[in-house]
Structure formats: C-alpha cells, structure tokens
Amino acid sequence: MPLLVPATLIVLVFLAAPLLILLRYSFNRFVPGQFMVEAFTLENYAKFFTDPYYFAVLRTTLLMSVGVTLACIVLAFPLAQVIARASPRSKPMLIILVIVPLFIGNAVRAAGWMVAFGQKGLVNTALAGLGIQPVTLMYTPAAVFFGIISVNLPYVVLTLQSVLEGIDAHLGEASQSLGAGRFETWRLVTLPLAMPGLIAAAVLSFILTMNAYATPLLLGGPQFQMMAPVVATTILSQNNWPFGASIAFILMVVTLCLTAAMNLIVARRYGR
C-alpha cells in the first residue's frame, strides 16, 4: 500500500488539482480588461448552449469523431487481421510499419498534409499532370477527416490486432467445419470475440478525435472549428479563462458520457 503513495500524489498534484482549479475557473465571471472576477455563476455554460456558433462547434466535433472512428474501424480491421495471421517472420516487420507513423508528431504530420493538399501541392500537381482541374483540399472538412484518420489508424490497428491475435485459430476452423462460410465465420465467431478490442479501439479513436488539436487547426483553416482549438483560442487569444474552462469541461463530460454509453450498449448487445 505505501508503494501507491507516490503515484497517488502525482495524480493528485498534476491531474486532479489542475482539473479542479479549471472547474472553479469555469464558474468565474469574465470582465474584459480584468483577468477574471471571482464569482459563482453558470453564465459561461449558458453562453455555450445558447450561442448557435458554439453549439455548431460541438456538433462538428461529434460528427467528425463518429465519422473518423467508423472509418478507422473499417479500414483497420482487415489490416489488423492480416497482421494477426501473418507468419512469425513477417509479423514484426508489419507491426513496425504500423508504428513508424507514430514517430511523427501530429503537427509535423499535418504540415506534411498541407504540402500535399495545397493548391500547388502534390495532389494538384499530379492532377494537373493528368490534365485535371485542381481541386480545393486544404481547409476543408475532408482534409481534417483524412488527416485525423491518419493519426488514429495506427492505434486502432494495433489495438484490434492484439485482440484478434488472442482468438484461437481453431475456432474459425471449427466454424467452417460446421458449415459456416468465410464471411459467416467472421460475423459469428471473429467479430463477437473481437468485440472487446473493437470497443477499446473505437473509444480510443473517439477520444483522440474529440480532443484533436493540431490537425483541425492546420488542415481545417479559420472557417472550420472543433472543440479543442476553440478552447485554446478562447483562453490564449481572448484571455477568457472562465469561458475556455467551461468549454473544456463540456468537451470532457460529453466525451466521457458518450464513451460510457457506447460501452454499455455494446456490452448489452453482446451480453458480457
């Protein structure tokens, strides 16, 4: 038990305390010109839910998170399955290939996408070479969508792969010998058994997207707003700590609630 003391202290000092302070800030009043005024008001929260602009930001963030997560699962599942079944010789190589992108920070990667997506970027140069009109990619929701997918995909692949690997290969064979084709075997045996890993991967991707900062900022441009960049702008540019703190809390609570709900629904559906 005494061994737990340092870890508990670190969590308290570096995680719980700032959160509590931020929570307290979110009830303060913002008076332009002054930093903030001690108060106990819900006006910051009221502002968020009554101003259509901020509500739209939350909606965009949610849509983006759900979309990216679905896309990631669909893209990652076949890849994870290939890796899980790879021979012992090629498997480490494949896993390293998946991990390599993680060495590149989000901001650097987004900068890379900017080079590729720009009006005179790689994609449009290639299109021009083929005689096709340039398309606008930068500063579109699609750019953010693909940008975040590229960030999340390695995590989702690795999570799924580790679960798929734990499924006894004989189960698939038993299913086939009992008359189930390949797809039926996947649907009836592989998928239900992979469900815990699939939930974990989805939660991971969902949380990463809800809190995405660099990618929407760099690839979405000024018109496209998601929650995390809005928190930063509110606090850093407008110096509005109380409102920024309340947005941060709304983001956190929404993320937690939806994650818990997703867990519950899937757990009930698959009865475990």
Partner 1 sequence: MATLRLDGLGKSYGDVTVVENVSLDVADGEFLVLLGPSGCGKTTTLRMIAGFVEASAGRVLIGARDVTGEPPYRRNIGLVFQSYALFPHLTVFENTAFGLRRRKIGEAEVKSRVERALALVRLDGLAARYPKQLSGGQQQRVAIARALVIEPDILLLDEPLSNLDAQLRIEVRSELRRLQKSLGITTIMVTHDQEEAMSVADRLVVLQSGRVQQVGSALDLYLRPANRFVAGFIGRGNFLEGVALEAGFRSAQGTVFPCGAPAGSVGTLLLRPEHVGLHRQQGHGMFAGRIESVRFLASSFDIAVVLAAGDRLQAQLPATPGAMRENWQAGDETFVAIDPAAMTLLQNDTGHADLNSQNQKGVSP
Q: Which is nearer to partner 1, 152 or 185 (CB)?
A: 185
Q: How far is the CB of 272 from partner 1 (least distance, A)?
A: 7
Residues contributing to the site for partner 1 (CB under 8 A): 168, 170-171, 173-181, 184-185, 188-189, 192-193, 270, 272
- Tell me how far, at minimum, the Cβ of 43 lies from partner 1, in Å: 50
Two structure tokens written together for 228: 């995390």
- Rounded to a whole number of angstroms, the minimum distance from the CB of residue 69 to partner 1 is 23
Contact 231, 194 (CB under 8 A): no
Nearest to 26 by CA among 226, 231, 221: 231
Whether 168 and 189 have beta carbons less than 8 Å apart is answered as no
Nearer to partner 1, 222 or 271 (CB): 271
Judged by beta carbon, residue 67 or residue 192, the one nearer partner 1 is 192
Question: Where are the alpha helices (H) located in the chain, listed in sequence order?
Answer: 4-11, 17-25, 43-50, 52-85, 91-99, 106-117, 122-129, 141-165, 169-177, 182-185, 191-210, 214-220, 227-236, 241-269
Other beta carbons within 10 Å of 139: 17
Q: How far is the CB of 87 from partner 1 (least distance, A)?
A: 12
Residues 6+ apart with CB under 8 A from 138: 114, 117, 118, 119, 121, 219, 221
Coil vs helix vs strand at 180: coil
Of residues 71 and 198, the one with the C-beta less far from partner 1: 198
Shortest Å distance, C-beta 175 to partner 1: 7
Q: C-beta of 92: minimal distance to partner 1 in Å?
A: 22
> Residues 213, 215, 219, 220: what is their CA dihedral angle, to the nearest 10 degrees?
-40
Q: Closest CB to partner 1 among 11 and 178? A: 178
Whichever of 162 and 176 has its CB closer to partner 1, that residue is 176
Nearer to partner 1, 19 or 180 (CB): 180
Min CB(193)–partner 1 separation in Å? 6
Query: Cβ–Cβ contacts within 10 Å for residue 98, how many?
Result: 19
